[in-house]
Amino acid sequence: MTTPGAPAAPAAGGPVNPPETVLRVRRVSKSFGPVRALVGVDFDVRAGEVVALAGENGSGKSTLANVVAGALTPDEGTLEIRGTLRRFARPRDALLAGVALVRQEPAAVRHLSLAENVLLPRLHRMVSLVDRRRLAEQARPWLERVGVPDHPLTPLARLSTGRRELVEVARALATSPSVLLLDEVTTRLPDPEDLFAVVESELANGLGVVLVTHRLREIRRLAHRAVVLRDGRLVAELVRDELTDERISSAMVGRELGAYFAKRDVTPGRVVLSVRDAVTDRSRHRLDLDVRAGEIVGVAGLVGSGRSELLETVAGARRRHGGTVLVDGDPLPSGSTRAAAAAGVALVPEDRLAQALIPPHSVTSNLVLRHHRLTRRADARRERRHAVDSVARYGIRTSAVDSPVAALSGGNAQKVVLARALDAEPALLLLDEPTRGVDVGARAEIYDLVGRLVDRGGAVLMASSDLLELLGLCDRIVVLHDGAVAGVLGRDEATEEAVTLLATGGSLAPAATPNGGARP
């Protein structure tokens, strides 16, 4: 092992000597049932190089990463690591061949120490009793290398999420890999710059890095080349000079970005939702907020700022610890989803598989979930007609209404959830991350459905971590910071910078109103 070296050669010229190809993927295909996740993909990674593997959700990039890491066996095609043909039956084979994967969902053991977590892939070789002090000594250089200052015998659970991710990287590096796969690792990092610095310093040692991501900023920052996947096919290979947002995103999407957001001009009507002095599970402050008919109000904020808590409190899914929530002037009781639904509030929750759908049940069952009353007859025929009608009306693509909803793509599953919410013709629609894990086509359809509700006089309160979506759709954006309203931005004031500033605790020029009162 070598000491942390200087950062890799500046990316513009790429590595100088003809570098060794550490990973060669040829004609790799993989199907899951009828779904072709990968179709004849070729790509190479050379030593000292970062190759971004880019694509929308469902494009096949994670499948490809899992094939390279031995977690999935390809149906066809070959892998070469440092010129040697390899077949991986399990992840361990890949690890021994020099491929290390850092996943989005960490595979760490929370109650074990940092040292044990870093050396986990090697622990099985230690037949002798585990000497914790020796483990600590062995793990220390790896932890230092990724910049984790904590003592190696600290339990992992004590570390922040960001540091835990770095421990994951240390574990991957401790296997001395030729190829390092980073699968969407930055989603949970508050400051990905630490990780980027570590990656760059490792490049000089001849490591090849595959960065799986859909974030353009990361690609621009770190990658020497980008390989773009769409529908399981490799559609573009871009070198450094071509790595502009426009080039990458149009390759990912297959058409130019642009017409996805329709800015609507609706004159706001009566006040539909009025939140006064509300205290949610997350908030340390009292929240005030108004949403008028015909308005889309956005809720922005970092993870943990209380966005979902606000929406779920209004929907009655969480108890309110004070204050009032009025819908069309009538007060809602705290913590009753039934009362909220009766008042015309519909929630599209953040996690559709865990909170909104019953994955093994049919599309029909999921569509009629809100229809049932304890003592009322359930008419299977009527339910079916309703489902057939909804599938057509909302453009839900499914092979049959009896198929399990789990078989649908993210976008179509989300349309099922939205169809259920819109069925009741809600006075107030609450959307929590409405397009997470949804492909671009379905995204446009979802925006359209929401837009049409607003045209009919519905009110929408929408939380999202996708700033472009909020800026494009919303009449006003309420920015939360640490459970409090940090500011409210009208359409003309709302910019990416202003929202980010408020969300991270900065304050803004007098333009922003301190509370959430509606514009006159």
| Residues of this chain that bind another protein (CB under 8 A) | 262, 315, 317, 337-338, 340-341, 347, 349, 354-361, 365, 368-381, 384, 387-388, 391-393, 395-402, 420, 444-445, 447-448, 451-452
Cα angle 32-36-41, degrees, rounded to a multiple of 5: 120
Nearer to another protein by C-beta: 398 or 464? 398
The span from the CA of 429 to the CA of 314, in Å, is 11
Chain-centre distance of CA 350, in angstroms? Answer: 11
Beta strands in 106-232 (DSSP E): 179-183, 208-213, 225-230
Query: How far apart are CB 368 and another protein at their closest, in Å?
Result: 8
Query: How far apart are CB 60 and another protein at their closest, in Å?
Result: 20
CA distances from residue 477 to 62, 276, 295, 399, 472 in whole angstroms, order as listed = 33, 17, 11, 38, 11
Query: How far apart are CB 363 and another protein at their closest, in Å?
Result: 8
The span from the CA of 462 to the CA of 74, in Å, is 40
Nearer to another protein by C-beta: 124 or 373? 373
The span from the CA of 472 to the CA of 444, in Å, is 12
Chain-centre distance of CA 166, in angstroms? Answer: 19
Beta bridge partners of 462: 298, 431
Q: Which of left, alpha, beta for 189 (phi over 0: left; psi -120 to 50: alpha)?
A: beta
Nearer to another protein by C-beta: 131 or 389? 389
Query: How far apart are CB 440 and another protein at their closest, in Å?
Result: 13
What single-letter amino acid sits at 89?
Answer: A
Tell me how crowded residue 144 is: count the other CB atoms within 10 A of its CB.
Answer: 14
Query: How far apart are CB 347 and another protein at their closest, in Å?
Result: 6
Query: How far apart are CB 383 and another protein at their closest, in Å?
Result: 9
Tell me how crowded residue 11 is: count the other CB atoms within 10 A of its CB.
Answer: 19
Query: How far apart are CB 101 and another protein at their closest, in Å?
Result: 23
Query: How far apart are CB 354 and another protein at their closest, in Å?
Result: 6
491: tokens are: 């359409």
Nearer to another protein by C-beta: 188 or 371? 371
Nearer to another protein by C-beta: 23 or 449? 449
Query: How far apart are CB 367 and another protein at their closest, in Å?
Result: 11
Nearer to another protein by C-beta: 178 or 435? 435
Nearer to another protein by C-beta: 155 or 457? 457
Nearer to another protein by C-beta: 179 or 347? 347
Per-residue buried b or exposed e for 312-323, using 16+ beta carbons within 10 Å of the residue's own CB? bbbbbbbebeeb
The span from the CA of 234 to the CA of 212, in Å, is 14
Give 107's contacts (C-beta < 8 A, 6+ positions apart): 168
Nearer to another protein by C-beta: 79 or 405? 405
Nearer to another protein by C-beta: 108 or 347? 347
414: tokens are: 């989300």
The span from the CA of 339 to the CA of 334, in Å, is 9
Query: How far apart are CB 300 and another protein at their closest, in Å?
Result: 23
